[in-house]
Amino acid sequence: MRPFEKPKNEIEALAKRFCDHLEIEMGRSKRTLDSYARTLSYFFLWGNIRIPADITAEKVREYRLYLNRKITRSGSSLKKVTQSYQAIVLRTFLKYLAKQDIPTLAAEKIEVGKSPDRQVDFLEYEEVESLIQATVGTTEKSFRDRAILELFFSAGLRVSELVGLDRYHVNLDKEEFSIRGKGDKLRIVFISPDAKTALKNYLAKRVDIDPALFIAYRKKGLMNKQGAKRESNRLTVRSVERLVKYYAKKAGIVKDVHPHTLRHSFATDLLINGADIRSVQSMLGHASITTTQIYTHITNERLKEVHQSFHAKRKKKDSNK
């Protein structure tokens, strides 16, 4: 059950109204609502916050110091982006209270600060090819796994989007389909010739009537332990994460490869080959161009390498004259 479903005090009742506002008026996804509720609940519990007046500048300062000094189970500090997210959620909640004319700390008193640039890990095209080739085999699982990797690189899907696909969603004849991503936003994604072939080969192997596009095979150890009790043998997010890591290791790729690495690789490949950033934003389903701009640093570096390589060849030619 999500926090605040049964409010215990005034601040929790207001937080519940805030989450309802995000769901109804703002159209936020269930995942976002759960995240916001957990974040606020954690702060309320830590600070013994019961009424809006309990949220003071000093209390927020102490909480942010606590977060900055907190050590996780893995023995590391909380990432700056995680700390910034906590501040953003609290500031958004305070803005909501202000609009409701409820006296509390002004949202402007909370400064989020600049987060460090995100590190984007991606695969070179040759590495993507090696990853896909590692699936070679004649079993249903091999055909399924190749289709998954090809579709990841062809459409730039999030792993949650991929596992949510049903067979009827994908139109192989039109080589495109619509996907509902973050924030319930609809976008069109495209199927490359290689992905189309892989999907056709995989679906031709299927003899079941499960509606899920990608299913688990019990004897292969990839199905959820509760799979026998479910209506569908749909692959889980965790199963796909393990699958991608398995083939990365098999292909000899030393990078820490996740499904999102393939999404990054998709975007980077498009930009390196001349796609404009607005088109990439649309294909990724980013609400803000700022999110897509994390890739520009990578592509700028790659252009620099091309530039240097071109001039090196030119100098070599000039010296041979």
Alpha-carbon torsion, ordered 16, 21, 24, 25, to 10 deg: 180
Whether residue 142 sits in one domain with residue 272: yes
Catalytic residue among 16, 167, 180, 260: 260
Does the pLDDT at position 316 exceed 60? no
> What is the pTM for the complete model shown?
0.68
| Cα–Cα distance measured from residue 51 to residue 246, given in angstroms and rounded to the nearest whole number | 50
Whether residue 194 sits in one domain with residue 73: no
Whether residue 242 sits in one domain with residue 99: no
Catalytic residue among 167, 182, 205, 258: 182
Catalytic residue among 28, 144, 158, 196: 158
CB 148 within 8 A of CB 215: no
Whether residue 259 sits in one domain with residue 197: yes
Residue 34 lies in a domain: yes
Q: 28: domain CATH number?
A: 1.10.150.130
Query: Per residue in 235-271, pLDDT tens?
Result: 999 999 999 999 999 999 999 899 999 999 998 888 8
Does the pLDDT at position 313 exceed 60? no
Residue 311 lies in a domain: no
More confident site: 308 or 169: 169
Q: Is 311 considered catalytic here?
A: no
Catalytic residue among 64, 91, 146, 286: 286
Query: Per residue in 58-79, pLDDT tens?
Result: 999 999 999 999 988 888 888 8
Whether residue 291 sits in one domain with residue 265: yes
Q: Is 21 considered catalytic here?
A: no
| Cα–Cα distance measured from residue 131 to residue 100, given in angstroms and rounded to the nearest whole number | 53
| Cα–Cα distance measured from residue 308 to residue 315, given in angstroms and rounded to the nearest whole number | 11
Residue 318 lies in a domain: no
Whether residue 148 sits in one domain with residue 48: no
Q: Is 307 considered catalytic here?
A: no
Whether residue 46 sits in one domain with residue 85: yes
Q: Is 182 considered catalytic here?
A: yes
Catalytic residue among 63, 96, 247, 295: 295
What pLDDT score was predicted for residue 230? 56
Number of domains in the chain: 2
Q: 139: domain CATH number?
A: 1.10.443.10
**Among candidate residues 65, 81, 109, the one where a domain is terminated:** 109
Q: Is 169 considered catalytic here?
A: no
Catalytic residue among 146, 196, 263, 264: 263
Determine the structural domain holding residue 225 and report its residue range. Answer: 125-303
Q: Is 25 exposed, middle or buried (0-12, 13-18, 19+ CB in 10 A)?
A: exposed
What pLDDT score was predicted for residue 223? 42
Q: What band does 215 get if pLDDT is binned at 50, 70 and 90?
A: very high
Query: Per residue in 3-25, pLDDT tens?
Result: 888 899 999 999 999 999 998 88
Whether residue 298 sits in one domain with residue 215: yes
Q: Is 286 considered catalytic here?
A: yes
Whether residue 63 sits in one domain with residue 171: no
Does the pLDDT at position 80 exceed 90? no
Query: Per residue in 217-231, pLDDT tens?
Result: 865 443 444 444 456
Residue 200 lies in a domain: yes
Residue 97 lies in a domain: yes
